[in-house]
Structure 1
Amino acid sequence: MSSILDVNPSFELEEKSYEFSGHHLKISMFKGAYLGVSAFIWEPGLVLCRYFENENIDFIGKKVLELGSGTGIVGILAVLLGGNVTLTDRPYVLKQIEYNVLANVPLTSRHRSNICALAWGDDQNNFSNDFDFILGSDIVYNPTQFQGLLQTLLHLCSEKTTVYMSSNVTAREGSVNFHEHLLPRQFNSELLHTSGSNFIYKLTKKVPRSI
C-alpha cells in the first residue's frame, strides 16, 4: 500500500472509523489527489450501511455491483456481509477503492471483491446483467449524468435484480425529478427508509408487457 503514496506523496490520507454489522471499518480518503467528490464519505452511503445493519441484510452467495463506489465503504461492507462484489468508479478513483479494500477486507475474503472502471453510459456493455443486487449511494447529483446512469442501470439489471439506491433528495440538483419522474418510467420504485433528507429506494426493472 505504500507504493500508492509513493506515486503522489503530496496528498494525504484522512482516515475515519465506522462500525456496521459488527465490522470495524477504517476508510481512508485521498485528500489532494484530485478525486473531486469521490474523495469524501457522504451521508447517503452511511445511511445505506446503517440500513443494512438495522435490517440484518446479508449478501451471502449473491453477485453484487456498486456504482460510483468512491471510497468503497458500501461495497466493502457488502463484501464483509458475504457478497461477491464488483466495486466500480472512474479510473482515477480505483486506487482509493483498492487501498480501502486491502485495509478492510480480510485476505480470506478478498477473492470476493473486484474493482473495475465503469463510466456510466460508456462502459456498461463490458458488464453482464446477472447481478442479484446493484448498490448506489449519493450517485444522483448531476443532471448531466442522469441519461448515462439510466442507460447503465437498464443494461446491468435483469428483472431479478434488486437495486438499493440512497440519495440526498433535497441537497442534490435534480434528485427529486430523477426519483419521482425519470426512474419510474422503467423501474418499479419503493421508498424503504428516510433519515433526514436521505432516502433509500428499492428498485426493480419493469417487465415489458406482452403484446
Structure 2
Amino acid sequence: MPFQFNFTIEDHLEDELIPLEDGALALDFSKESSVSERQKGKHSDKKSSTEQFDLLQDLLWEHQSGGNAAPSQDTDHSLNGTNSLSNLEPYEKKPCLRVAKEHALPKDLKKVLESKVIETLPGLQHVNISVVKTILLKDNFSGENIISKSFSSHSDLITGVYEGGLKIWECTFDLLAYFTKAKVKFAGKKVLDLGCGSGLLGIMAFKGGAKEIHFQDYNSVVIDEVTLPNVVANSTLEDEENDLNEPDVKRCRKSKVAQELCKCRFFSGEWSEFCKLVLSREELFEKYDLILTSETIYNPDYYGPLHQTFVRLLGKNGRVLMASKAHYFGVGGGIHLFQKFIEERNVFETRTLEIIDEGLKRFLIEMTFKYPS
C-alpha cells in the first residue's frame, strides 16, 4: 500500500539518501526546482564492433541525406557497405551498448506501489525518489546495482552504468510548464518520452488523451522502480478503496484503468538498441507524432545516436520538444553545440520556444523535419 502525502519532498541533496531531511519542492512549475546541477546522463560509452558498424551505416545515410533531398519518414533506412567512413566526425561515436528490452506492466498494480511514498504536484503524482534509493540501497538490490555505485561515487552520472534517471531534473519542470502555457495538444497523438526518468512528461501526455505513450530510459531499474509506479499512480481512480460494497462498480473501474494503461509501453536500453527493438516488430511500426525529451544533450558523444533516433522514429510531420541547459559544465554539451550539430546535418530545423534565465540559462526548443515529404 503506498503512502500518500499532499506535499512534496525534494531530493535536493543528490548524495543524500535520507528522505526525512529533504526540503519542500516548489509547486509552481514556472519556478526553478532546486535540483543538482551535476550533469544528467541518459546514455553511454563504447560498443561492440558489430553495433558500431550498424550505427556508422545509419550515420552515413544521414550525411547523404543532408542535401536538398529529404529523408523519407515512412520506412526505416539502411546503407550498403561501400560508403566511405572518412567524413564521420569524432563525436559521432556510439555509446556503450545496453541492449534494449520492453518491460511488461504487472498484473497486480497494487504491488507496483508497495513501499512507495507518493507525492503530489499540480495535476501529477510521483514517487519520492529518495525513498526508492534508500530502500534499494538498504535491501542490497542486485539488478543493475546503480544505486550503490551512484552513492559510493557521489555522482548521478556514471557513464555506461547509470545515466541520471533517478532524479527529476529542473528542465523537466520547464517543459511541464510550457505544456500548460502553450496548451500543447496530446489528444490522439502517439508520444515518446525519451530518456524519461520519472516519466512526468509522458504522464502529462497520458493525462492529456494521447492515444499511445512510450517511455524509454537507459536503466531498467529506473523503469521498474520509478517510471512504472508513477504511471500507475497517475492512472488509478480515486476512492477505489471505498467501493468494497459495490463489486461491480469496482470491477468496472479496474477495467477502465487497465484499458488506459494499455496505451503505455515501457522500454530500457541504449537509444540505437531501442530503435532496433521497436522497428523490428512484425507489425508495421507507426512513428511518433511527438517526442518529448529533457536534458539529454549534456554530452556531445551522444548527439549522433540521439539524432538518428529522431530520424528513425519521428513521423514526417511530427515534432520534438526538447528542454536543455545552455551549457553542461564538465561534460561539454549544451544547446548551442547541439543546434550546430543539427544544422550541419541539414535534416531538422530548430526553433527556440522559450529561454529561462533563472539560475543557469535554460532553453526549450522545437525540432521538425526540414523536408517532410
Q: CA deviation at 1:120?
A: 1.2
Q: Counterparts of 1:58 and 1:86 in 2: how far apart (Å)? A: 17
How do 1:152-167 residues align onto structure 2 when only pairs under 5 Å count?
A: 152-167=309-324
One-letter identity of the residue aligned with 1:122: E
Structure 1 stretches of 5 or more lacking a match?
7-11
Give the structure 2 partner of residue 123 of structure 1: 274
One-letter identity of the residue aligned with 1:25: Q
Give the structure 1 partner of residue 198 of structure 2: 71
Give the structure 1 partner of residue 120 of structure 2: 17
Give the structure 2 partner of residue 89 of structure 1: 217
**Larger relative CO (CA 8 A, sep 6+): 1 or 2?**
2
Q: CA deviation at 1:130?
A: 1.7
Instruction: Tell me, yes or no, if the aligned pair for 1:146 and 1:178 is still in contact at 8 Å.
Output: no
Sort the Cα spacing of 1:161 and 1:40 in 2 relative to 1 into closer, same or farther, 3 A.
same
Q: Counterparts of 2:356 and 2:286 in 1: how far apart (Å)? A: 31
Normalized per residue, the structure richer in strand is: 1
Of 190, 203, 206, which aligns to 2:351? 190
Sort the Cα spacing of 1:202 and 1:15 in 2 relative to 1 into closer, same or farther, 3 A.
same
Q: State percent identity of aligned pairs.
A: 25
Give the structure 1 partner of residue 232 of structure 2: 102
Sort the Cα spacing of 1:97 and 1:131 in 2 relative to 1 into closer, same or farther, 3 A.
same
One-letter identity of the residue aligned with 2:125: L
1:46 aligns with 2:173: yes
Q: Counterparts of 2:307 and 2:260 in 1: how far apart (Å)? A: 31
Instruction: Tell me, yes or no, if the aligned pair for 1:160 and 1:204 is still in contact at 8 Å.
Output: yes
Q: Counterparts of 2:290 and 2:126 in 1: how far apart (Å)? A: 24
One-letter identity of the residue aligned with 2:292: L
Structure 2 stretches of 5 or more lacking a match?
1-108, 137-145, 148-155, 157-163, 237-256, 279-284
Instruction: Tell me, yes or no, if the aligned pair for 2:324 and 2:335 is still in contact at 8 Å.
Output: no
Q: CA deviation at 1:77?
A: 1.1
One-letter identity of the residue aligned with 1:97: T
Instruction: Tell me, yes or no, if the aligned pair for 1:191 and 1:199 is still in contact at 8 Å.
Output: yes
Q: Counterparts of 2:271 and 2:300 in 1: how far apart (Å)? A: 13
Q: What is the TM-score normalised by the length of structure 2?
A: 0.49
Q: CA deviation at 1:24?
A: 3.4
Sort the Cα spacing of 1:27 and 1:105 in 2 relative to 1 into closer, same or farther, 3 A.
same
Q: Counterparts of 2:201 and 2:299 in 1: how far apart (Å)? A: 20
1:199 aligns with 2:360: no
Q: CA deviation at 1:153?
A: 1.3
Give the structure 2 partner of residue 9 of structure 1: none
How do 1:24-43 residues align onto structure 2 when only pairs under 5 Å count?
A: 24-29=124-129, 30-32=132-134, 33=136, 34=146, 36=156, 37-43=164-170
What do the CA deviations read for 1:94-132 (whole angstroms, capped 9, x no partner)? 112111111112326322222122411222122235211
Of 184, 187, 191, which aligns to 1:60? 187
- After the TM superposition, which of the residue ranges 169-178 and 35-44 deviates more from structure 2? 169-178
Q: CA deviation at 1:143?
A: 2.2
- After the TM superposition, which of the residue ranges 86-95 and 112-121 deviates more from structure 2? 112-121
Sort the Cα spacing of 1:13 and 1:38 in 2 relative to 1 into closer, same or farther, 3 A.
farther
Q: CA deviation at 1:151?
A: 1.6
One-letter identity of the residue aligned with 1:87: F
Q: Counterparts of 1:5 and 1:112 in 2: how far apart (Å)? A: 19
- After the TM superposition, which of the residue ranges 59-68 and 143-152 deviates more from structure 2? 143-152
Instruction: Tell me, yes or no, if the aligned pair for 1:39 and 1:71 is still in contact at 8 Å.
Output: yes
